[in-house]
Amino acid sequence: MRGLGLKLALLRIAMILCVCKATSSLHPLILVPGSGGNQLEARLTTGYKPSGLFCGRFYPIFKDKEGWFRLWFDPSVLLAPFTKCFNQRMMLYYDPDLDDYRNAPGVETRVPEFGSTNSLLYLNPNLKRLTAYMAPLVKFLEEIGYVSGETMFGAPYDFRYGLAAEGHPSHVGSKFLQDLKDLIEKASASNGGKPVILLSHSLGGLYVLQLLNRNPPSWRRRFIKHFIALSAPWAGTVQEMLTFASGSSLGVPLVDPLLVRGEQRSSVSNLWLMPSPKLFGPGKALVITPNKAYSAHDIPEFLNDIGYPEGVIPYISRILPMTESLAAPNVGLTCIFGTGVKTPETLLYAKAGFDKQPEAVYGDGDGTVNLESLSALESLWAFEKNQSLKVIRMSGISHTSILEISAALDAIIAEISSINSKAQAEVSFE
């Protein structure tokens, strides 16, 4: 690993030294974040009914002149009274008549600065050291010649929402796909018609794959140069079953998981990330209680038993058909992910039930996503003749550290530079 790191570092130095020559050959690059990987803003209307004294319309104090404030990430979520406010304002509701999701009554939300990388750098620009997300990656990209707003763009989205199977509406998620498609076309047009490199992290990879498969091959050939997916949970993750059953503090100290469990259950994207029966077989128990064991094939029963029956119909009708189909997009794809980090593989619940955090049996993965999911495309697309698939495994790299550790960033930059170099060689040859 040390020798590989040295080689990658030397390659990066060489790339920086010749950046002035390479800039003109760069393909435009669009960054697509993972869940929680960009800022989210909210505004309260007269329809908002606070859940408690601390959650009135006066909170937070600092808003812009139109009433917008930062919903994610706001550090006050760490304090119990305000955690309840956060839970209420982040909550989504499924409307069976519309067959779609909506915000909590009286809460409007928006994603700031679509098209820019600004919203992806830090989840809170006032807390840069604590909330850095894609800032290290963007810095590395700038060192090889990428310029924000010219050759490098960001595609933030409302990560609470997801997509749905064909025949079911998904207004927010579908609008994001259309906005992303428009951004791809504009980025290409403003860079001499060069096709675009898409670089996603985590959940962003699922969105990108859906975008590619929902557009015709002719569009993909014209506008997509390559797709690089970092830490993509292609088949979901066992961690999501913990989130639904008991809530997750996501490693943030002082946060009671039960106080945020409601909004986490309501998140469509979390339902999308449940472990897929396609990869996690019926014989694999993922959650074990004193009375019952649940595999990925038992998720409807699991949702009902944990006290979230309202999630059953959306899961069966909207999510399951989509996760069962992971069609190859027939564009160049590189998967980069970490391995060798202990990752929840089976959750063991005691008699106290789902309101208590379980004991975990760990397996391989990146600490968040199981190896079966990270490497799913290798087995699913093994016989796809028209699909180019490259897999780069990085030992000891976690789900989020892939965006900050130099060895991982060097590998990402090397892959992007290789794609640009090959493209330049093809043009020269022609």
Q: Could you tell me if 162 and 266 are in contact, meaning their C-beta atoms sit under 8 angstroms apart?
A: no
Long-range contacts (CB closer than 8 Å, 24 or more residues apart) made by 109-112: 109/40, 109/41, 109/42, 109/43, 109/71, 109/158, 110/40, 110/41, 110/42, 110/43, 110/68, 111/38, 111/39, 111/40, 111/41, 111/156, 111/157, 111/158, 112/39, 112/41, 112/156
372's tokens: 């079966």
CA dihedral of 318, 320, 321, 324, whole degrees rounded to 10 = 150
**Is 226 tagged catalytic?**
no
**Is 95 tagged catalytic?**
no
Q: What is the DSSP string of 330-364?
A: -S-EEEEEEESB-EEEEEE--TT-TTSPPEEEEES
Catalytic residue among 35, 366, 410, 417: 366
Give the SS3 label for residue 193.
coil
Catalytic residue among 200, 276, 399, 417: 399
**Is 202 tagged catalytic?**
yes
- Cβ atoms within 10 Å, residue 97: 5
Cα–Cα distance measured from residue 324 to residue 102, given in angstroms and rounded to the nearest whole number = 25
- H or E segment and range at residue 2: helix 2-17
Distances in Å between the alpha carbon of 208 and those of 211, 213, 321? 5, 9, 17
Catalytic residue among 35, 188, 202, 276: 202
Residues with a known catalytic role? 202, 366, 399
